[in-house]
Amino acid sequence: MGIETEYGISLQGSPAANPMILANQLINAYLEKFVPINDHARWDYDQESPLRDARGFDLARKLADPSLLTNEDFGLANAILRNGARLYVDHAHPEYSAPETITPFDAVKWERAGDLIVSTASDLVYERTGERILLYKNNTDGKGASYGCHENYLVSRSTPFAHLVRYLTPFFVSRQIICGAGRVGIGQNSEIPGFQLSQRSDFFEAEVGLETTMKRPIINTRDEPHADPQKFRRLHVIIGDSNMSEVSSYLKLGTTAIILSMIEDGFFTEDLALKSPVSALRAISHDASLKMRVLLRDGRSVTGLEIQRRYFELATDYVAQRCSDHEPTVLLMSLWGQTLTQLETDPTTAIASVEWVAKQYLLSSYRDRNQSPWADPKLALIDLQWAELRSDNNLFARLVERGLAANLHGAESLSEATQLPPSQTRAWFRGECVSRLPAHLVSASWDSVVLDLPDSTDLIRIKMSDPYLGGREQTEVALSGSLSDLPMTLADIFEVT
């Protein structure tokens, strides 16, 4: 699993500054300092297929919105980092795509490393130019634009996509009650004063589809596995919020991974299909009391909390039968259950684990002191400052300092994750090629690395079609040996052509 984060960006004192130019400047500043890639190294688009739909067809390129054409090289900053991540300009945003990990705990660690990386880049630009590029880990500018936080999960190809749609849709619609980041303003343009659970819910308009920026669907159908397509699919989840809270992010990733395992194993027998998923998504988000009821297709009326509670009960049975001795999963289940109980009894007690609750606490404190209505523009400013990445200006960080919220990873661990890749997936080999073989790295992507070795007349492509192959234990010996022996030693692990 792994997360892609698009950051809001602006230039302090110059709100009209071109965000694409700012993003390019930001990323290049980081690359020049920390990534020893030679001038001809590039991102490898050859294996990408962003218009392939999981429903069994390819969207014609001439019919696709330009935002879907993610396999075109526009000449902007685009690189693989030492930690195996990708950092690039995505339209008008800097985007950090975290390396592949196999646990939600690690996924949060390498996602948060991205926050540190782009913050460092902002500091580098400031040192050189005196201009401060501001970065926000949120999902909307409050004026109608939304940018994403996309989760990615490796799923068995043998699992019918229809099953994913059937069982994930109610889960995603209700999941915002435990991992929503909270938002001031209701409606895509924040035209209605108020507070809601999720940054993203108002921007979804379809149940299933390929789009990511227009007519956003609850279930995205992009079929681009970045792995062996006969064995794997990549579930591309675009409905989640960016989280400042590591605990909320951990719950988001961990609970989804458990539900996916249940679907793969054919464990579900109960259908919680919603009558109108898009309407339910917004209705649940707009009600911070958690009492809003929505209709299931079978006529039952339920709250988002009741949907989540039922998924939790089913997951509890699954874990008891399949992995009761796996301590990390047991701990995750305990946190999920505890969080639901807190939300059912007194949501304010969930301040340490649910981000929207923590944000609402801060906003309510301000409103009580100043007798402010939700239309007060200072509340929108607080919402924005909550997500600003500068540590001295970030309001979530202040709650952590006061002991009202907590993080899972310390500063030293996150700093290490900016330079070292996860050791148990192919991200290790990719990242170590950046660190150890910069002069020979021609291009790279998620599932391949192309090298120009001195004793070879042709370029060598190393295909990494299995994300579980390529960790430190498997590749350290090959990377530590001679360059002339590298293709032969890697051939025991990867397909080398």
Whose CA is closest to 88, among 153, 4, 212, 146? 4
User: In this predicted structure, what is the pLDDT of residue 142?
Assistant: 86
- Taking the C-alpha atoms of residue 236 and residue 99, their distance in angstroms, rounded to an integer, is 15
Q: Is 138 part of a structural domain of the chain?
A: no
Q: Cα separations (Å) of 81 from 1, 124, 216, 259? A: 18, 17, 30, 31
Helix 104-129 crosses helix 246-264 at what angle (to 10 degrees)?
140
Q: Is 333 part of a structural domain of the chain?
A: no
- Taking the C-alpha atoms of residue 394 and residue 397, their distance in angstroms, rounded to an integer, is 5
Q: Is 450 part of a structural domain of the chain?
A: yes
State both tokens at 295: 């209709």
Asked whether residue 63 carries a pLDDT value surpassing 90, the answer given is: no
Which H helix or E strand runs over 141? none
- Taking the C-alpha atoms of residue 138 and residue 315, their distance in angstroms, rounded to an integer, is 30
Task: Give the residue numbers marked as catalytic.
Answer: 90
- Taking the C-alpha atoms of residue 497 and residue 488, their distance in angstroms, rounded to an integer, is 11
Residue 463: which domain range?
Answer: 423-496
- The answer to whether 253 and 108 have CB atoms below 8 angstroms apart is yes
Q: Is 82 part of a structural domain of the chain?
A: no
User: Is the pTM of the predicted complex or chain greater than 0.75?
Assistant: yes
Q: Is 442 part of a structural domain of the chain?
A: yes
pLDDT tens-digit series, residues 157-189: 999 999 999 999 999 999 999 999 999 999 999
Q: Domain tally for the chain?
A: 1
Q: What is the DSSP string of 46-111?
A: TT--TTEETTTEE--GGGS-GGG-TT---SS-EEE-TTS-EEEEETTEEEEEPPP-SSHHHHHHHH
Q: Is 462 part of a structural domain of the chain?
A: yes
Confidence tier at 215 by pLDDT (50, 70, 90): confident
For 14, the 3-state DSSP assignment is strand
Alpha helices in 130-245 (DSSP H): 161-179
Task: Classify each residue of 173-197 as buried b or exposed e, where b means 16 or more C-beta atoms within 10 Å of its C-beta.
Answer: bbbbbbbbbbbbbbeeebeeebbbb
- Average pLDDT over the chain, rounded to an integer: 92
Q: Is 458 part of a structural domain of the chain?
A: yes
First to last CA, the chain: 27
Percent of the chain predicted with pLDDT > 90: 83
pLDDT tens-digit series, residues 444-489: 999 999 999 988 889 999 999 999 999 999 999 999 999 989 999 9
Q: Is 171 part of a structural domain of the chain?
A: no
